[in-house]
Amino acid sequence: MAERVLSHKRLSSIKQFLYGSPYYPEHWDADVRSQDAQRMKAAGWNCVRMAEFAWDRMEVEEGRFDFSLFDETIQSLGKVGIKTILCTPTATPPVWLTRAHPEILRVDERGVRMAHGSRQHACTTGPLYGENSRRITSAMAEHFAGNPDVIGWQTDNEFNCQFSECHCESCQDGFREFLAEKYNGDLDALNQAWGTAFWSQTYRSFEEIETPRPNLPTHPNPGQKLDYARFLSWAVTRFQAEQIAILRQANPDWFITHNGIFRHIDYRGQFSRDLDVLGYDVYPFFTHDPAERVLNQCFNLDYVRSLSGNFIIPEQQSGPGGQGPYFHDNPEPGEMRRMVYTSISRGADSVLFFRWRTARFGAEEYWCGVLDHDNVPRRRLHEAAQLGVELGRVGPEILGTYVQITAGIAAGDFDANEAHDTLPFDLPAPRLTAQSVWRALFRRGYPVGCVHPADDLSDLKVYFLPHWEVVDPAWLPNLQTFVDRGGLLVIGARSATRGLENAVTAETLPGVLRGLTGMTVEEYGHQNHPESRPLAIDFAGNRVQSEYWYEVLQPEGDTGVLARWQGRYLSGQPAATLRHVGRGVVVYVGTYLTSQVMAGLWPLLQPLCGLQPLLPHIPLGMEVTLRTDGKKKLWFLINSTGQVISVPVPSGTDLVNQRSISGSLILPNNGVAVIKN
């Protein structure tokens, strides 16, 4: 198979827009199940996902398999045209396995072993669990290989959602194996990379190395911590790859996905290259404030698209989620439909609602689905059915298109985020600071998204690299080309301060970015208690407060000063620099790109890049996106403002409401239009 190139513009290989839900026949008796296929068909379903937690039903004891429930269910759904995505059930090993082999259970940093009775209690690193994973995966793959109604697979379920930092014996062995491979068995290289000369940590053999555990008694080595995070990703990628190899061998026509996005997995690495398409579970109601909820959903979708391009949504929130201490708001009429369009507008190529019917028992018995506990059809089902009819028109049009953006933000890759977490210093993480920049542009109606610095930057007029402490020198030619061709590159404080092994660079800051920015950082400081010792930056008469961090900058050569500090001992010193490079410009800002700083900075940047909103005069809070295949244009207009609004729009056909549009459009709250032209 050809190596997959991950890009924010990568199309998915999904051939039919899939619409439906996860479905749990193991939770319901035959009488309740008997009406499901017809009801799903009436709601427009063409796909369900099944079996991710049903290992105990399918392998009732070691090596004795019973797939009859799923055979019967797949067949009854298939008869009405509903296809099935099956899952490997390895997030929930059965009790016969955990009792016989408690060594497969994960161990936390205090040495406490996990227990049977919830989920994600088994460690994916160990050989014994790997053997059991391969056995159930092989049995399922062989059994369903010839079933025409099974179209694809999801590996496991939400790897690392509940638990990722394991310290079991298998992880000790696995960590050493990973390190020996990474450092080619060269212990001196490891000691050098981690800086084990500090605190007498020098290792004499790989066998002496253990996983880093926090607060026993104090902070572990940052180099060791970053390599441990890389090991966790490597281990789960290997576990998944074994399942994928079995599935591909059984039936190469199946597509394979996984539902993220969680900690300690490099989704812009081998993990996603092994998949046909990445999945992302969308639960906006974890954000309580409705206005923030919209912003967070949009940003998170843009972030996920930056990892490997268009994606599918194996779980999209339909009702309130309730578990443990929380119970979400109930979506208001029109809200679940509108949230689906938001997902599609920002890169989703298929959507399944979590879930068909709310379970009456178990830890998620209040994680509500399209149908309530009593199986009575109510407005969530009616709304899903309306959407099913609309997506019959919209779905086929969006496949083969990508989301067009002209403003990009580096939102943090695996190394940037993990390195930050090893020494956070009470500073915002890369993904959080990227969201501040993203919001400043989104609110102004600009077509903004997230893009990795190694990715295709050719469509962008402006690109922000906010505060990545780890910057790979291999990305520099791509950034240089972007600027040479006329792009505006904006780099934030603390960039490129550490090397790939998480040790501080020996170069004068900003390290490998010094040549491109044409300046140096002469001095820096953390802004503790900024309310009592405020610092401001003067952006051409527009004075804004800085937060978190300050740097005193020294321009080199022909680099100019864009803004200066005001306050404390910094008054008059350069706070931001500007350098013309090729046909473009590089700006460096010596503080965090917060919303206040963006308010002062953007009026100076906009004329430098000429960025324009996707459509003029769009009200604040209105979502406007464009998906295109280079010829056809699909304009998404989504009203989450809480008001009825009138907006100027391009002329064309509204696929949602089946009408011709010319010039302007009135949209109610939660109203949606998808205009094709």
Which residues in this chain contact Zn ion in the complex, by CB under 5 A? 123, 125, 166, 168, 170-171
**What are 214-219's contacts with CB under 8 Å, separation 24+?**
214/109, 215/109, 216/109
Cβ distance to Zn ion smaller for residue 235 or 601:
235
Q: What is the dihedral of CA 654, 282, 315, 391, to 10 degrees?
A: 0
* Closest CB 166 distance from Zn ion, rounded Å: 3
Cβ distance to Zn ion smaller for residue 113 or 583:
113
Cβ distance to Zn ion smaller for residue 123 or 585:
123
- Rounded to whole angstroms, how far apart are CA atoms 43 and 23? 14
* Closest CB 213 distance from Zn ion, rounded Å: 13
Its sign, for the CA torsion 286, 289, 291, 292, is: negative
**Cα 200–Cα 206–Cα 212 angle in degrees, nearest 5:** 60
Length reported for the chain:
677
Tokens of 465: 């690299």
Cβ distance to Zn ion smaller for residue 225 or 494:
225
Cβ distance to Zn ion smaller for residue 155 or 211:
211
Q: Name the catalytic one among 52, 165, 315, 469.
A: 315
Is the CB of residue 492 less than 8 Å from the CB of residue 511? no
Is the CB of residue 421 less than 8 Å from the CB of residue 432? no
* Closest CB 18 distance from Zn ion, rounded Å: 34
- Rounded to whole angstroms, how far apart are CA atoms 635 and 394? 11
Residue ranges with strand state E in 266-366 = 277-280, 311-317, 322-323, 326-327, 348-354
Strands 402-403, 622-628: parallel, antiparallel or unpaired by DSSP?
Answer: antiparallel
Residue ranges with strand state E in 147-236 = 150-154
* Closest CB 187 distance from Zn ion, rounded Å: 23
Cβ distance to Zn ion smaller for residue 214 or 473:
214
Is the CB of residue 454 less than 8 Å from the CB of residue 306? no
Helix, strand, coil percentages, rounded to 5, for the chain: 35, 25, 45
CA nearest to 122, candidates 156, 172, 173, 86: 156
Residue 181 known to be catalytic: no
Cβ distance to Zn ion smaller for residue 48 or 123:
123
- Rounded to whole angstroms, how far apart are CA atoms 407 and 131? 47
Q: Cis omega before residue 355 (within 30°)?
A: yes
Cβ distance to Zn ion smaller for residue 121 or 355:
121
- Rounded to whole angstroms, how far apart are CA atoms 272 and 309? 10
CA nearest to 309, candidates 183, 450, 467: 450
Q: Name the catalytic one among 52, 59, 158, 469.
A: 158
Residue partners of 117: CB distance under 8 A and separation at least 6: none
Residue 158 known to be catalytic: yes
* Closest CB 104 distance from Zn ion, rounded Å: 9
* Closest CB 162 distance from Zn ion, rounded Å: 14
Is the CB of residue 355 less than 8 Å from the CB of residue 380? no
Residue 191: other Cβ atoms inside 10 A: 17
Cβ distance to Zn ion smaller for residue 106 or 494:
106
Q: Containing H/E element for 380? A: helix 379-398
* Closest CB 242 distance from Zn ion, rounded Å: 16
The set of catalytic residues is 158, 315
